[in-house]
Structure 1
Amino acid sequence: MTTLSFSKGHGTGNDFVLFSDPEGAIDLTPAQIALICDRHFGVGADGVIRAVRSSAIPEGSSVLSEDPTAEWFMDYHNADGTPAEMCGNGIRVFARYLLDGGLADIPAGQTLPVGTRAGVRDVQQSGTGFQVDLGRWRLTDDDPLVRAKGLKVARPGLGIDVGNPHVVVALPDDDELDRLDLGPTPILDPELPDGANVEFVVPFEPLVADGIGRIRMRVHERGSGETLACGTGTAAAALATRFWAGSGAPDNWKVRTPGGTLGVRMFAAEDGEHVALSGPAELVFDGEVTIG
């Protein structure tokens, strides 16, 4: 039996169990992670985040090649125990965990490089909590039809990659969005080899106010089910809506999720257009859990 000291945190209701394992000595199994995330028999969370030094795990070698200063790696697993490339809400909570635990700091005007399976992501403090540069995004060739419980007919989806895969679906009104049952996994036709997070989006009326685009979103996260928010999904939803809206659409967006509102910003970089996500990150309690 192993006793694990942890912190519980969330970003707009997207919640995580975080623990520190600097030297990579703790290797939780998928079943153990799933048990920790179970909301009836465990702590309860959308995922588990291990804070481990990049030098201590195989995945960290490419991270350190990209940026030798990326000391910490966000080892993120979904609620079912499967590893994920990135988590936009999780990385902000991860930054809060490192700062509050004295494991790292972010001097004024600087960023904290964090290793992920999608590469290095830079985090900085912002007025709402933290902002993370999610890196270069891209449209994919994956535009499947999407079926979900509560939708009368399948809807076309738009494939977007922001370090992890997403399919975004536009809906006409709030009533249709509210009727969705996102407990069951939406069906993609054709299926994607690695699956995808699926976002359902409704624009506000008007879509743009004071130069900022505004949408509402719900999401089914691959490996976790419906969550109150998905950071990378929020970015994908804003990118998709801007794509649909055309050349006059803004580069700054506010996205309302069931757990709160997040900010998305698109900006030019040397390697192409990047997308950044901003929002709160809170630690709510510490505890210990004994796992077999």
Structure 2
Amino acid sequence: MKNAFYRGHGLGNDYLVMDPKDLSFKLTPANIRAICDRHWGLGSDGILAPIPSKNADFGLRIFNPDGSEAEKSGNGLRIFARYLHATGRVRRKTFTVDTKGGRVAVELHLDRYGEASAVTVEMGRASFAPDALPCKLAVDEVIDQPITVAGQQLRFTGVSVGNPHCVVFKPKGAEWTTDELRLLGPELENHPLFPKRTNVQLAVPTGPRDIFILIWERGAGETQASGSSSCAAASAAVRLGLVRSPVTVNMPGGALRIDVAKDFALTMKGPVAEVARGTLSPAFVRGLR
């Protein structure tokens, strides 16, 4: 169908899949913002655009709701995997997807209805090197470093999992509030230390293999869940000796299991749901640029 969309979510983090070759318009930043607007458009945490790839079975571009492009998204990859299976574009349970943040391996887990209701993604290897984020600190690794934001002195760990993350921990037994997330999230996202901005996780260890995080996504803001954020926070927690792998990362939208190998290779497993399929109306499309 022309101008078709597929909507799915991973623990409340929702994306639209839109194939550029089936669209009568281009996915420009302005059009992406219009489509993702929750009052004037369809509403979404981003758009997933399949593209050809010479390096993997499928290629994927990931757009944030502000029109910028993301390197990688764990929830987005799970939604994309379910889309491929649900629309008959893939028949086998394992395949690869090429993203700007690197190639990943995907495994589908089919439920009793034959639907891919859970997906495992090999998310690559976490790096704490400042060049990988990037981060302007002149250190070998961005581990437990001081940062001043919103008049507060905090300590953060920088992690790249194909996209940049800033993880700030409170000690076990403490709590982060949504007010703190809304204050610190945008300040950290746009901090001068991060020339390409960053995703933000406010984290607390809650057990020997469990953490809780609140998430501020670069280009999207507060989100209920994030696969790449879960990978980054789990990696940071293991690196700091706060928890052991595998790590259950609890978020407002639910939980993901993250396996952190000794070399910090990451494997994420979690649920994914289909919500709707449809087409944009001709009148809406006429209003796009």
TM-score normalised over the length of structure 1: 0.82
**What is the 5 A alignment of 1:31-42?**
31-42=30-41
Equivalent residue for 2:125, pick from 115, 130, 136? 136
Post-superposition shift, 1:189?
5.0
CA distance in 1, matches of 2:60, 2:23: 12
CA distance in 2, matches of 1:83, 1:144: 28
Deviation at 1:221, TM superposition (A): 0.5
CA RMSD of aligned residues (A): 2.4
Counterpart AA for 1:256: N
C-alpha distance after superposition, 1:218-255 (max 9, x if no partner): 11100111111111110110111111226xx4220101
User: Where does structure 1 lack aligned partners over 5 or more consecutive residues?
Assistant: 55-63
Amino acid in the other structure paired with 2:216? H
User: Could you tell me how far 1:179 is from its partner in structure 2?
Assistant: 4.0
Q: Aligned ranges for residues 206-285 of structure 1 at < 5 Å?
A: 207-208=207-208, 213-245=209-241, 249-267=243-261, 272-285=263-276
1:120 matches 2:107 = no
- Preserved CA contact (<8 Å) 1:229 1:259: yes
AA paired with 1:185?
Answer: P
For residues 131-210 of structure 1, the aligned pairs below 5 Å read: 131-141=120-130, 142=135, 143=145, 145=147, 147=149, 153-172=152-171, 173-182=173-182, 185-187=186-188, 189-204=191-206, 207-208=207-208
Look up the match of 1:30. Answer: 29
Please give the per-residue CA displacement for 1:134-193, whole angstroms capped at 9, x wherever unaligned.
112111234461536xxx723111110100010100023454334424276133654311
Q: Name the structure 2 match of 1:60.
A: none
Q: Please state how far the C-alpha of 1:74 moved relative to its aligned partner.
A: 1.4
CA change 1:282–1:16 in 2 (3 A) is same
SS at match of 1:200: strand
Distance 1:185 1:179 in 2: 12
- Structure 1 counterpart of 2:236, which letter? A
Alignment partner, residue 85 of structure 1: 71
Output the CA distance in 1 between the equivalents of 2:240 and 2:166. Answer: 14
Percentage of identical aligned residues: 33
Structure having the higher strand fraction is: 1
Aligned residues: 261
Task: State whether residues 186 and 198 of structure 1, in contact with CA within 8 Å, keep that contact through their aligned partners in structure 2.
Answer: no
Provide the rounded CA distance (Å) in 2 between the counterparts of 1:106 and 1:24.
27
SS in 2 for 1:35: helix
Query: SS in structure 2 opposite 1:185?
Result: helix
Mean CA deviation greater in 41-50 or 138-147: 138-147
Q: List runs of 5+ in structure 2 lacking aligned partners.
A: 111-116, 136-144
| Counterpart contact for 2:20–2:27, Cα < 8 Å | no
Cα distance in 2 for residues equivalent to 1:75 and 1:48:
8
